[in-house]
Structure 1
Amino acid sequence: MGYEESWDYPHTVGPEENWQESDCYWWLDAEARIGGWHRIGWYPNQKIGQSSIFLYEMGGDRFLDRNIEISADQCARAEAHQVVGLSKISMLAPLRPAFEYKGVDAEVSLIFEESFYTPRDWISGAKTAYDLQSETGHLEVSGRLRGTLRIADRVFDVNALAHRDRSWGPRNLVGFDVLWFCNGTTGPQLSWAAMDIRLAGGHRRTVGFVVREGRSEELISCGVNVLTAADGVTPLRAFMTLETPSESLNLEIETVQGFMQRIAPGPFIVTNQSSLIRVDGQVGFGDFGVVQNALRGSYIPMAAELRLTCVEDGLSPFVDHRSVLLPTVRSLLEKNHV
């Protein structure tokens, strides 16, 4: 089913305890050297709201406010808006949401003014049993975000590349162990949304799409190699290859700034990185990161879940270390005689 205007407005609440509706957007204005990430959502049957916002100025201050248990008396829903704590989303018109946040150390007033393509779901065809664990509906679109914001005592005009999503319905994320994601754009000519989902037992699921000049293609596969900081948490650089029926798209990802938070309800920790992304000789932006299932704890993966690291006693075949590298990474190492 294709985009309908109803996707952009609050939906009738379902009976499920885990029914939720949320809006999230992320953006980077490279010229003004500012960026951010903002999510507004709530679980009406659990009577809790959630609001998370992260803002930064390159070379200046950054601001983070994460509140995932906002009481129902601080939340409100109407025909064209949703309020959660200090955050608000209002639909000025279909495809034109306005986002607000009013705090002591930061304020936001931003409008998603331009969509680079017709919004769509992660998956355009029939959904698998795994996909049906997730929300009833999901909207994804890249575009242009404009408005103003304040960090501490500095006020900025914003004209940014941006990506937004919204979802509604029961949310059940317990089916995966690790999920890598990257959603972004270089402008009207190229956008993408990708998830590489690692399921228990070594199974994988790829969902997402690439859009060129308004034409959308489903992802067939998605691969990622990551250079992580010594803290074991922060992705510094990454390479991601997105395969569609007609092309192989290679993303070179450079972290600008990021944050961590817990996804509730559920045992998940997400690391979000606002990133510069080089692709096709262009520089765009994206939100890159990983969601990890904390229930794994000290769990050591099975052999089926790993390619290079040995985890089973006894004999097993040697694995060529370069076989786990994406072609772009392998080429880069070869050029540097590594």
Structure 2
Amino acid sequence: MAAAAEGYKTILAPEDEFTHDPGTAENYNESMYFNVFDAGKRAGAWFRLGNRPNQRYAEMSMCVYFPDGRVGFMFARPEISDNSQMNAGGLRIDVVEPFKTLKVTYSGELLVLKEPGQMADPKVAFRNNPRLPCKMEMTYTGLSPMYGGETVKADGTPLEIDPEKSFAKAHYEQHCGAKGFIECGGERLEIDGYGLRDKSWGPRHWQAIEWYRWCPMNFGPDFGMMFNVMGDGKGGVHQSGMVFRDGIYDQIVAAELSSNWDANEYQTDLEAKIRTKSGKEYAVSGKVLSLIPLRNRRTAPDGTELTTRITEAMTEYRCDGKLGYGMSEYLDQIVDGRPMGRLAGY
């Protein structure tokens, strides 16, 4: 589990795998995310469901990276009446055994894009690409310990959080094995691979973070990594993450990251130098195989239009002589047409 700062502790219980009392914050979010990559097929997918019960809707996202470079995507905001389950918009998440086994299923449509970059303008993308029937079943099995949880004061008192500046009250992650299938438009993709899942709960605005670079990856059943480089809102940078090896998590204490970009300022490849709490060092290189640009828009109380861009890329990673797959998820607030993380040098 991630270490908390002095005077605080991180707590996580099996019941946290299930839904929580949303309280009164209007922007309360409880979300679960899963990715998976099959190295043999050079294919992958990710799924996210975020309940916003006090706003009476959920955010459902489904993304598939096909072996030939096509990307399937669907997003919906189905109406929900409470926070009793993770089941909306055709996506359902069942906790079979906390921290051990979870099942994710989807039944609905998938927009299949030969040119995923069209999603920069969703209206154009949805008008110009076919929506095909899709069914997915995936079973996730935990390989690693849990990383993260809810940070509280040393005496167990919850932290005071300003909902308007919050991204999450609690967050945890786990490296997993995953097996199942995705059927789309008569095409069936059998998946047997590895991935990472996470869960967050608490008030969330997507605009609460200036930028981050979240890079989870797997090199097999016994070697994985996740590093996150994030702007702290004050001109500085916060680095975090872990290396999964020999059955344990070794916390990342330093992560140096450099990225290369295309004409749209989307990441094309990256290099990272990682140092862990145990003193081990890793050099990581990543090459983007397929990328889809997503966005979130919100009008601030003062009337300012806020735009967040998230580029979701299936990425081929190399580290310690091993080849693996994962994501490079780059989130940026867009200011005067430019991504803030790129302007910060990341």
By the TM > 0.5 criterion, same fold?
Answer: yes
1:204 to 1:116, Cα distance in 2 relative to 1, 3 A: same
Structure 1 pair 274–125 and aligned structure 2 pair: CA distance change class (3 A): farther
Provide the secondary structure at the position in 1 that maps to 2:146: coil
Note if contact 2:21-2:83 (Cα within 8 Å) is conserved in structure 1: no
Alpha-carbon distance in 1 for matches of 2:246, 2:151: 18
1:255 and 2:288 equivalent?
yes
TM-score, normalised with respect to structure 1: 0.79
TM-score normalised by L of structure 2: 0.77
Amino acid in structure 2 at the alignment position of 1:156:
L
**Based on CA coordinates, which of the two structures has the bigger radius of gyration?**
1
- Consecutive unaligned residues of structure 1, counting only runs of 5 or more, are 308-323, 325-338
Contact 1:82 1:89 in 2 (8 A): yes
Residues 231-250 of structure 1 correspond to what in structure 2 (within 5 A)?
231-233=264-266, 235-245=267-277, 246-250=279-283
Moved over 6 A (4+): 122-132
Q: How far is the alpha carbon of 1:136 from its aligned partner?
A: 2.3
1:1-338 mapped onto 2 (5 Å cutoff): 1=10, 3-59=12-68, 61-67=70-76, 69-72=77-80, 77-78=83-84, 81-94=85-98, 95-104=100-109, 105=132, 106-112=134-140, 114-121=141-148, 133-233=166-266, 235-245=267-277, 246-263=279-296, 267-294=307-334, 296-297=335-336
| Distance change in 2, residues 1:72/1:13 (3 Å) | same
Contact 1:143 1:187 in 2 (8 A): no
CA distance in 2, matches of 1:130, 1:228: 35
Distance 2:72 2:54 in 1: 30
Taking the aligned partners of 1:276 and 1:170, their CA distance within structure 2 comes to 33
1:45–1:230 distance in 2 versus 1, CA, 3 Å: same
RMSD (CA atoms): 2.9
- Cα distance, 1:166 vs structure 2: 0.9
Provide the secondary structure at the position in 2 that maps to 1:134: coil
Structure 2, unpaired ranges of 5+: 1-9, 110-131, 299-305
User: Letter of the aligned partner of 1:101 in structure 2?
Assistant: Y
1:93-146 per-position Cα deviation (integer Å, ceiling 9, x unaligned): 22311111112422111110x222111217989799999943222120111111
Percent identical among aligned pairs is 18
Amino acid at match of 1:155: R
Find the aligned partners of 2:327 and 2:315 in 1 and give their Cα distance: 6
- 1:259 Cα deviation from its structure 2 partner: 1.2
